[in-house]
Amino acid sequence: MIIHPAASLSGTVSLAGAKNAVLVSMASCLLVDGVSVLTNVPASLDVYQMIVLLESLGAKISFEEIAHRLTIDTTTVNQVTVSPEIMRKMRASVLVMGPLLARYQRAHIALPGGCLIGLRPIDYHLRGFAKMGAIIETQDQFLNATGALKATNFVLEYPSVGATENVMMAATLTSGTTKIINAALEPEVLDLIAFLRAMGAMIEITPPATISITGVSVLRPVEYAILPDRLEAGTLLATVAATGGSITIPDAPAYYMEVFLEKLVEMGHSIICGDKQVGITMVASKNPRAVSFKTMPYPGFPTDLQAPMMVLQTVACGESIISETVFENRLLHVRELQRMGAQITINGTTATIKGVDQLYGAQVIASDIRSSAALVIAGLIAQGQTVMAGIHHFRRGYDQLETKLQQLGAVIAIEQKEVW
Ligand code: EPZ
């Protein structure tokens, strides 16, 4: 991707459906025997990858990209095995385990892959299934989980999003009441709960963070609209703020973005939210102040917006301390930003950033979805051209985001070639 310096970006854009909601909702269609329809589905690489996975299990899928409408027919599912090639491409593939165990009492999956942002084991997922009575063995590169599940109380030592989702899906068809204590309650988890309830699942949330699932004998196919992507909204806001412009996002779920929006206001940017906290208009400050933050499980500062927000700090006024507490290796973009002139030092998983006047274009490499977005933002505010390799990360997490940025005034070209 060739990124040229941008003047202040401005305009109005709408959001795609949330990647981290649609992937798990697609997986949960395995819980039903029938034809489900998902709307507002983003045409991103991860969605296509999940389609490949579900088709490898025998599902019949059609995706009308322009209409963002995905039809999933699971009446022909006849497999419980997921190959290494498929698992290696995307960590979210592990989310088929819970539905397969619940429906077929068996899941045979290769160990998952995903971004480089840390070891990202699945021990919490497996501990949850084992607590429900599944027998889990590893044979070479495969995990084999078998057994009829039973209701249980499962305490998560960390509010893992994926583990919460996987165990919750497994429990929807398991008789009795399963409790997940210290559960993740990210917006995408809440959207999955709404999706499963639409299928007929019985799920209650008890504050502060217990999810109780009472199993039912059968779930029915649904038609469901995926929620707008708060992470795309945050990425767009960070991009426009970095260039000193203004943006309106009419469908932004501001109610799910409070800590992130507070940090933009602390920097000096002006944020106006619509009725019922739907819709955001931002006018960027021309001399923003540096802010510090720590990434935390929801409702804390989202780890998926840490990299884009860091870019804003590299040219803000003052010093910023950013602590990444969710993943142990999610500062890979720092190296690339330093090569563009950013003043950043790292101590463990904490980065200290001193604002500079200017970044400079360079050849950079993206290492995960959110670092690719951060490097695009850096390229838009750098002096001189930036060439970013690793565009597949950008494509994995966003649906034509570069087109939206071009609509706002960015000059970005895509060249399909081996850069190095
Ligand atoms: C989901 O990943 C999201 N992905 C991630 O978004 C997001 O960053 C993350 O939640 C946190 O919000 C999808 O929803 C597809 P976790 P997940 O389980 O479920 C450790 C993006 O860019 N852990 O909450 O994998 C783990 O290593 C992606 O859109 C275990 O140790 O996140 C991490 O340090 C990146 N054992 C921490 O917990 C486990 O069994 C949080 O992971 C599971 C997780």
* Range list of H helices, 221-340: 230-242, 258-267, 306-314, 332-339
273 catalytic? Reply is no
pLDDT of 418 reads 60
Predicted confidence (pLDDT) at residue 115 exceeds the cutoff of 80: no
Nearest to 234 by CA among 210, 215, 253: 253
C-alpha span between 238 and 375 (Å, rounded): 12
Atom 30 of ligand 1: nearest residue by CA position: 121
Per-residue pLDDT averaged across 197-218, rounded?
98
- How many Cα neighbours within 13 Å face the side chain of 392? 9
* Range list of H helices, 149-224: 161-171, 187-198
Side by side, the strands of the sheet bearing 2-3 are 363-365, 386-389, 2-3, 412-413
On whether the CB atoms of residues 181 and 209 are closer than 8 A, the answer is yes
Per-residue pLDDT averaged across 398-414, rounded?
96
Residue 35 C-alpha to ligand 1 middle, in angstroms? 29
Q: What is the pLDDT of residues 79-114, one digit of tens each?
A: 999 999 998 888 899 999 999 999 999 999 997 655
Q: List, chain by chain if needed, residues with CB within 6 Å of any ligand 1 atom.
A: 19-20, 23, 91-92, 115, 118-125, 158, 160-163, 184, 186, 188, 303-304, 326-327, 369-370, 397
Atom 25 of ligand 1: nearest residue by CA position: 162
Phi, psi angles (nearest 5°) of residue 182: 70, 40
On whether the CB atoms of residues 408 and 248 are closer than 8 A, the answer is no
Q: What is the pLDDT of residues 319-357, one digit of tens each?
A: 999 999 999 999 999 999 999 999 999 999 999 999 999
On whether the CB atoms of residues 252 and 278 are closer than 8 A, the answer is yes
Whether omega for the bond prior to residue 250 falls within 30 degrees of 0, making it cis, is no
Strand ranges inside 54-168, DSSP E = 60-64, 69-73, 81-82, 106-110, 135-139, 142-146, 153-155
C-alpha span between 228 and 239 (Å, rounded): 18
On whether the CB atoms of residues 186 and 219 are closer than 8 A, the answer is no
Q: What is the pLDDT of residues 160-171, one digit of tens each?
A: 999 999 999 999
Residue 330 C-alpha to ligand 1 middle, in angstroms? 11
In ligand 1, the atom with minimum distance to the C-alpha of 119 is: 27
In ligand 1, the atom with minimum distance to the C-alpha of 117 is: 35
On whether the CB atoms of residues 110 and 141 are closer than 8 A, the answer is yes
Q: Which residues contact 379 (CB under 8 A, 6 or more apart)?
A: 1, 3, 4, 5, 361, 364, 385, 386, 388
Dihedral, 32, 35, 41, 45 alpha carbons, nearest 10: 80
Residue 324 C-alpha to ligand 1 middle, in angstroms? 13
Residue 92 C-alpha to ligand 1 middle, in angstroms? 9
Q: What is the pLDDT of residues 44-54, one digit of tens each?
A: 999 999 999 99
On whether the CB atoms of residues 97 and 142 are closer than 8 A, the answer is no
Atom 18 of ligand 1: nearest residue by CA position: 160
* Residue to mutate, 158, 168, 182, 393, ligand 1, most ligand atoms under 8 Å from C-beta: 158
Sign of CA dihedral 243, 245, 247, 252: positive
